[in-house]
Amino acid sequence: MKKIMIGGAMFVLIAQYAQASGSDESLSKGLIGAEVGGMHIDAKNDLGISFDDTYSAGAIKIGAENDSWRFLAQYNIIENGHDNGVKVSNDLYTVHLDYLVTSWRKGEWSTMPFIGVNGGYLSYHYGSSKENGFAGGAEAGMILSKKSFEMEVGIRYLDTNVNLVDSLTSVYVGFNFKVDSE
């Protein structure tokens, strides 16, 4: 139930941002996409001993964009792992605001570097311990775009207020499909 409520709240935020943008560059394209990559987690176990590990990760995302900005809501799927036989699992829900720095065109393809900020809710499980909190940080990457399709690569860093997790860093490859709203 909590996941549905968080996903619904993210969708409402996107819709409000898209409607509130009254400039000539209102968010004109919807996005739906996915990404895969690796997530490095700096964390502590129940005894306070620091450890770090890298997990396979993926995400599904929805959002909107124009020529200068994009806004995304994302659910991150992080592989469950083990630390010395203890089960480790994570749920991460984030929103992202990215500035598309510039655009270079070559035929039908555009290349767009981006920088942005992200924030969200993290639920971290280490054995029988469970902690929830907020995570936020920065991201950067490159988008290769054709009319209704995008490929992107990027890196994302999040700092957390969860006692057992110091930070999360992910490197990813993503694919997005654009939906015209005009």
Mean pLDDT of the chain: 83
Distance CA 114, CA 55 (A): 25
User: How is residue 78 written in tokens?
Assistant: 């992080």
pLDDT the model gives residue 32: 96
Q: Model pTM?
A: 0.79
Which tens digits make up the pLDDT trace of 94-148? 999 999 998 888 888 999 999 999 999 999 887 788 899 999 999 999 999 998 8
**Is the model more confident about 46 or about 53?**
53
The lowest-confidence range among 18-22, 89-93, 103-107 is 18-22
CATH architecture of residue range(s) 2-25+37-180 = Beta Barrel (2.40)
Average pLDDT (81-102) is: 84
| Domains in the chain: boundaries | 2-25+37-180
User: Mean pLDDT lowest for which of 38-52, 68-82, 139-153?
Assistant: 38-52
In sequence order, what DSSP letters do the residues of the chain get, joined into one string? -HHHHHHHHHHHHHHHHHHH--STT---EEEEEEEEEEEEEEEE-TTS-EEEEEEEEEEEEEEEE-SSEEEEEEEEEE--EEETTEEEEEEEEEEEEEEE---EEETTEEEEEEEEEEEEEEEEEETTEEEEEEEEEEEEEEEEEETTEEEEEEEEEEEE--TTEEEEEEEEEEEEEEEE--
**For position 118, what pLDDT does the model report?**
96
Q: Which has the higher per-residue pLDDT, 96 or 88?
A: 96
- For the stretch 28-42, pLDDT in tens is 789 999 999 999 988
Contacts for 55 with CB less than 8 Å, ≥ 6 apart: 38, 39, 41, 78, 79, 81, 90
| Residue-level pLDDT at 23 | 47
Question: What pLDDT sits at residue 111?
Answer: 93
Give the per-residue pLDDT at 134. 95
